Amino acid sequence: MNQVDSLVSEIKGYRGVDEVKFNQSLLQMIETRFKTVATVGGGVGVLILLAAMILVFNTIRLTIYAKRKLIKAMKLVGATNAFIRRPFVVEGLIQGTIAGVVAVGVMYLCFQYLLPVYVPQFGIMEWPFGRWYYLCGGMLLLSVFMGFMGSQWAARKFIKETSISE
């Protein structure tokens, strides 16, 4: 709001400008609603990230359960937990990479073909940081990170629990 006030006072100082009018109440309402939408959107985003991490966790857990006899055999011949855990973490990284590539592809298709049809003004809007590939790179990195963290979490928890005596 301070930026708009300073812009109004700057424009009033121009020669030939008698009066500057703008709907200040509408601007305040838009700013308030934008903050609300951003907060709710951030909360939903955090919930989606948590759900994705739990899905990776459960997938790796089921894989570990399915290979429990192999894990027991590996432990009997002296394999360390880190050695056994490594393939499961790689699987989580692969899942994260595939999810990130699919998400970037869907986002590209939406922004390139779908949005310009339904929102004609979309072509003149500028992306954050100037280019959309920053958003795609961030989304891909976040997907890989979430796959890594979910698989690391599951592998640490369930490989320790898989003991030789079972």
- Tell me: the pLDDT tens digits for 2-23? 777 777 788 878 888 878 887 7
Rounded distance between C-alpha atoms, residue 166 and residue 154, angstroms: 19
Residue range 84-133, pLDDT digits in tens = 889 989 988 998 999 999 988 988 888 778 877 887 777 666 665 567 77
Rounded distance between C-alpha atoms, residue 116 and residue 110, angstroms: 9
Task: Give the residue, 1 or 52, on which the prediction is more confident.
Answer: 52
Give the list of residues 6+ apart from residue 166 with CB closer than 8 angstroms, or none.
68, 72
Check whether 26 has a pLDDT greater than 90. no
Task: Give the residue, 163 or 159, on which the prediction is more confident.
Answer: 159
Q: Cα–Cα–Cα angle for 60, 66, 67, nearest 5°?
A: 90
Query: The whole model's pTM is what?
Result: 0.67
Confidence of residue 52 (pLDDT cuts 50, 70, 90): confident
Q: Tell me what pLDDT residue 54 has.
A: 86
Q: Tell me what pLDDT residue 129 has.
A: 54
Q: Tell me what pLDDT residue 1 has.
A: 61
Give the list of residues 6+ apart from residue 12 with CB closer than 8 angstroms, or none.
19, 20
Q: Tell me what pLDDT residue 61 has.
A: 86
Closest CA to 95 of 53, 134, 136: 53
- Domain-wise residue ranges, the chain: 43-161
- The answer to whether residues 97 and 143 touch, using CB atoms and an 8 Å cutoff, is yes
Give the list of residues 6+ apart from residue 58 with CB closer than 8 angstroms, or none.
154
